[in-house]
Amino acid sequence: MDRQYVLFVVLLFVSGCVAGERQGETSDYIAAGGNAQKVPTGLALPFDVEDLHAGEMISPFGVIRGSKDGGIGHGGIDFTIHKGDPIYAVADGEIIYNEKEDGQGGTVVDILIAPVADGEGWIFKYEHIELLGELDVGSSVKKGEKIGESAIMFGNNHLGLEYAFNDYAFYKDAACWVSLVEPGAQRALEDKFEELRADPAFVKLWETSESEGYYEYKGLLDEAEYPNGPRLCYELGTDARVRKQQESPINANEPPLKLKSIGVDLDYYDSKTNRAGDFQFTKAEMTINQLFSPYGYIISGSVTSTGDDKVSPQPTFRVPMGTRVRSLVDGVVVGVPELYSGDYSVHVAANEGSQWIYETEHVTNVRVSPGDRVTAGQIIADVSPHDKDNYDGLGLVEIGILHGGAQPEHLCPFAYMDDSIKADVEAKILALYESWEEYRGDKSIYDNEASPGCVTHERVLG
């Protein structure tokens, strides 16, 4: 795990380190106070513009999102970059404070851009970065120098310009720093944001992000009120929140997304190819006599590690090695944990922090990383060789819907399919059962199911 720190860095702004033509300009968005004339300019960008993406919330300066903003408004901008992307100093300076931080992790970095008196001045604040190992309290840094990397797997990095006083312990003014960046870099950032705000993922996040009974950003999409569209900087104290309608609450006990893919290709059996989509029929002896093991199937104690019968918490597919595995839903990758078997599981959710996980377990050659947005049917990995020796060399993948924490509930994923695939998949599951039983000469392989793919609709802990 990454170290978690709170870090304060002071950058002492020296004469000549700012582009001369920007000298003396101030931000258009400054809190009430007498420090506007001292706002520094000519800043470097704290990140590489090309690293920005719309996979998580981009939260603009100035808007009131709820009680967390103290009724004043957001004092910075939250940008989304991937874990490990570089973070840069915006001016020359010196690290003066370093301690651990709770929360999302990483470091908080304060940069004194323009000292006014002993212990006070304009501070540039970074949050959730990992400081480079060679840097510590007392280290000097230069404008544009890499000082660390983004430390969070998903979420965003807060970047703000505030006026600090009383030995930098308190803050009273805030400014939107975009207009304070060197002109060329400012244009590059604005061009990139123009691209990001057109991304459907960006719009969806602004439409649906909620806090304390309100949609935080939805009102900013109202073209009548904000004809220029989403911006990075609003007047400090802008309140565009929209109260949620309470008459149609979301059922928190049901998965928020429906499957638009089952992870592999399933089709009707073709005797010429001896296949049913990705499923390759075989006469070879197998530990469990199924290519497709449904949710809730009772695994005999004769083949479990404990010797006890076990209820299968996820459907299992046995398909040839090299078979591509596809995302079950549209969403964001929130984890790619390595498993006991030396392969991986890909976790997708509707958004970061969701208690509902859509899992493809036992995969290799993973093609996505946490923070990536995926669409249903997108290739994300290959099937795993786990246990192939007991199944005629066939690979393995399991799919599932998980709800909860350390020991989540599992639900039958086939009970939560989108209408666009539901009837087709159910018909093909039943056809697969019939073709496989006929091929193997055993009419008792599949029996007593509540619905296609689900032996039971009861939730299973696992």
Owner of token pair 């989403």: 230
Give me the pLDDT at residue 123, please.
Answer: 85
Query: 430 phi and psi, to 5 degrees?
Result: -60, -40
Residue 115: the pLDDT is 82
Tell me the pLDDT tens digit for each residue of 304-321. Answer: 667 778 888 999 999 999
* pLDDT at residue 22, rounded to an integer: 24
Asked if domains 6-243 and 266-461 share a fold, the reply is: yes
Query: Is the CA virtual torsion 448, 450, 453, 457 positive or negative?
Result: negative
What number of other Cβ atoms are within 10 A of residue 379's Cβ?
A: 13
pLDDT at residue 34, as a whole number: 57
d(CA 358, CA 255): 9
Q: What is the pLDDT of residue 251?
A: 55
| Cβ proximity of 310 and 323 under 8 Å | no
CA 285, CA 173: separation in Å to the nearest integer? 73
Q: What is the pTM of this model?
A: 0.50
Count CB-CB contacts under 10 A for residue 113.
28
Q: Is 262 exposed, middle or buried (0-12, 13-18, 19+ CB in 10 A)?
A: buried
CB atoms within 10 A of CB 85: 17
Token duo for residue 349: 């959710």
pLDDT tops 70 at residue 272: yes
Distance set, CA 68 to CA 63, 65, 74, 171, 453 (Å): 11, 7, 9, 15, 45
Two tokens at 365? Answer: 């050659």
Q: For domain 266-461, which architecture applies? A: Distorted Sandwich (2.70)
pLDDT tens profile 11-45: 433 322 222 222 223 334 454 355 655 788 899 99
**Amino acid 304: pLDDT:** 65
DSSP 87-152: EE-SS-EEEEEEE---SS-SEEEEEEEEEEETTEEEEEEEEEEEE-TT--TT-EE-TT-EEEEE--
CB-CB contact of 128 with 105 (8 Å): yes
Q: At 180, is the secondary structure helix, strand, or coil?
A: helix
User: Which carries the bigger pLDDT value, residue 311 or residue 138?
Assistant: 311
As given in the structure block, the two tokens for residue 11 are 């950058």
Q: Which two tokens stand for residue 186?
A: 């400012």
- Write out the two tokens for 364: 């290799």
What mean pLDDT, rounded, does the chain reach?
84
pLDDT attached to residue 245: 63
Dihedral pair phi/psi, residue 71, rounded to 5°: 75, 0
> Encoding tokens for residue 331?
């969403």
∠ Cα 122 53 260 (to 5°): 145
Task: State pLDDT tens for residues 177-213.
Answer: 999 999 999 999 999 999 999 999 899 999 988 887 7
pLDDT exceeds cutoff 50 at 236: yes
Please tell me the predicted confidence (pLDDT) of residue 25.
31
Here the tokens at position 382 are 């290959």
Q: What six digits make up the tokens of 6?
A: 């709170």
Question: What is the pLDDT, as a whole number, of residue 377?
Answer: 94
DSSP H or E segment with residue 409: strand 409-411
Closest to 65 measured CA to CA, from 76, 54, 56: 76
Q: Cα torsion at 290, 296, 299, 305 (round to 10°)? A: 120
Residues facing 175 on adjacent strands = 30, 161
* Cβ proximity of 358 and 257 under 8 Å: yes
| Per-residue pLDDT at 448 | 62
Residue 89 carries which side chain, given as an amino acid letter? A
Listed in order, strand segments (DSSP E) in 37-88 are 61-63, 76-79, 86-88
Residue 128 has pLDDT above 50, yes or no: yes
Residue-wise pLDDT tens digits, 385-419: 998 888 889 999 999 999 976 678 999 999 999 99
CA distances from 101 to 5, 36, 105, 108, 400 (A): 5, 30, 6, 8, 34
The residue-averaged pLDDT of 430-438 equals 94
pLDDT, position 32: 39
Evaluate if residue 381 carries a pLDDT over 70: yes
Domain boundaries, the chain: 6-243, 266-461
**Predicted local confidence at residue 441, as pLDDT:** 94
State whether residue 197 is helix, strand or coil. helix
Instruction: Return the H-helix or E-strand segment holding 163.
Output: strand 157-165
The CATH number of the structural domain formed by 6-243 is: 2.70.70.10
Pair 384, 398: CB distance under 8 Å: no
Q: 64 exposed, middle or buried (CB, 10 Å; 0-12, 13-18, 19+)? A: buried
Amino acid at residue number 150: S
Largest CA-CA distance found in the chain, in angstroms, rounded: 88
381, 399 in Cβ contact below 8 A? no
| Cβ atoms < 10 Å from Cβ of 212 | 11
How far is it, in rounded angstroms, from Cα 30 to Cα 296? Answer: 59
10 or 365, greater pLDDT: 365
* Residue 374 banded pLDDT, cuts 50, 70, 90: very high
